[in-house]
Structure 1
Amino acid sequence: MAKNNLKKAGRVVKEQKEFEEEVLQIDRVTRVVKGGRRLRFRCTVAIGDRKGRVGIGVGKASEVVTGIKKAVTKAKNSLINVPITKGDTIPHKVNIKYKAARLLVMPASPGTGVIAGGALRKILNLAGIKNVLSKNLGSRNTLVNAQASIKALEALRPVKEGQQKKFTKEDQKPVQDKVEKREKRKGTPKKEGASSAEPSSVEPKVKAEDKKSDDKKTDKKQ
């Protein structure tokens, strides 16, 4: 037992990080100056604790490592809290537009998984959401999609505030009216419409013929 305790005491225990880091994108950025071009790296990083806190940051530096560190510090300063329900999903549907990106994020039943791609998938995983449906309807730019994802998660409200309104009879009236109109359209056959149109087209012809015959009779009498 003493030997085991000594071995444990001699080990170097790594500190567990509070947030998990995920590099979303690394871009090469050049700046033109008098002497020529200066090359730098732009790093986009997302962090999260898988318990409802997530954030993104962008850092620029001449080296990738320093750029990632800058991005992580910025992400820690811009953390948001995401409301998550008991089924590890979001409380309600969100449809958001940010710059050229359009995102549709919907709750899903347990066992569905994260149906998403790109930056949105990584951010949802870091937030701790396990069941969700989503659709990207706009730009495919990683940075813009990451920012739009954060905006969508910011728009979420807790279960009490985000509960859907219960439909009353008054709310159902317009829907019932639409259904009745559709049933009436389906119930009216096309033949009836054609038959009803025929008399209207025939009647003026008959009247015109009667007028001509009357005119001829008057001419003969004269």
Structure 2
Amino acid sequence: MNNLETTTSPNPEIKIRRNSTSSKERWNERVIQISRVTKVCKGGKKLSFRAVIAIGNENGQVGVGIGKADDVINAITKATSSAKRRIIRVTLTKNATISHVATGIFGACKVLIKPATQGTGVIAGSSIRTVLELAGIRNILAKQLGSNNLLNNARATIVALESLKEPKMVANERNINIENLYS
């Protein structure tokens, strides 16, 4: 756990870990879920931990990763490196929202995200909120449909964010000027 500082957040279930290196990119990571899993072997039950981590720079880049290890710290480290390998880029508007409505489906989870006006905030629940905040989205409406599984909801959110088109493409499709797109 080199160069990492742990800070507290308003929600006691969420631990925020920030990279303390002086690199150009600042990555924030949040633990979405830590679960104990067991595997039945010939010699008895083998206990291990699974960590689900979301990582983002709050400026349009976000990723979700999973790590599994015999102790929690190693599981978090593996999940963090997995999330860094799966970073996606999200184009934000000047109001820190998305350009159009999108849906994402992963497994039995379906996530619907809609752009919102300035001052609305992030209206979303569960792991969807964590992923959207780490992506840097400040004004958005989101609805989770189907399963309540935290991992699949986070992945469905990533699928929805990947399906977004850039504002220039949306303006071209609607045959309007990009300045008039969000007025």
TM-score (normalised: structure 2) = 0.80
The answer as to 2:21 corresponding to 1:15 is: yes
State the distance in 2 between where 1:95 and 1:38 align.
38
State the match for 2:65 in structure 1.
Answer: 57
The answer as to 2:45 corresponding to 1:37 is: yes
State the match for 1:150 in structure 2.
Answer: 158
Deviation at 1:32, TM superposition (A): 0.7
State the match for 1:165 in structure 2.
Answer: 174
State the distance in 2 between where 1:125 and 1:85 align.
15
State the match for 2:91 in structure 1.
Answer: 83
Of Structure 1 and Structure 2, which has the larger fraction of its residues in helix?
1
| Structure 2 unmatched runs, 5+ | 1-19, 176-183
* 2:132 aligned counterpart, secondary structure: helix
Q: Deviations over 1:76-122 (max 9, x none)?
A: 01100001000100000002322101111000000000000100100
Deviation at 1:161, TM superposition (A): 1.3
* 2:32 aligned counterpart, secondary structure: strand
* 2:154 aligned counterpart, secondary structure: helix
The answer as to 2:156 corresponding to 1:119 is: no
Letter in 1 for 2:75: G
State the match for 1:136 in structure 2.
Answer: 144
State the distance in 1 between where 2:113 and 2:138 align.
13
Letter in 2 for 1:31: K
Deviation at 1:16, TM superposition (A): 4.7
State the distance in 2 between where 1:53 and 1:38 align.
36
Return the structure number with greater relative CO, CA threshold 8 A, min gap 6: 2
* 1:137 aligned counterpart, secondary structure: strand
State the distance in 2 between where 1:16 and 1:100 align.
41
Deviation at 1:162, TM superposition (A): 2.5
State the distance in 2 between where 1:161 and 1:41 align.
43
State the distance in 2 between where 1:97 and 1:48 align.
21
Letter in 2 for 1:15: T
| Structure 1 unmatched runs, 5+ | 1-13, 167-222
Letter in 1 for 2:147: S
How many aligned residue pairs are there?
154
Of Structure 1 and Structure 2, which has the larger fraction of its residues in strand?
2
TM-score (normalised: structure 1) = 0.67
Counterparts of 1:175-190 in structure 2, within 5 Å, are: none
State the distance in 2 between where 1:143 and 1:96 align.
13
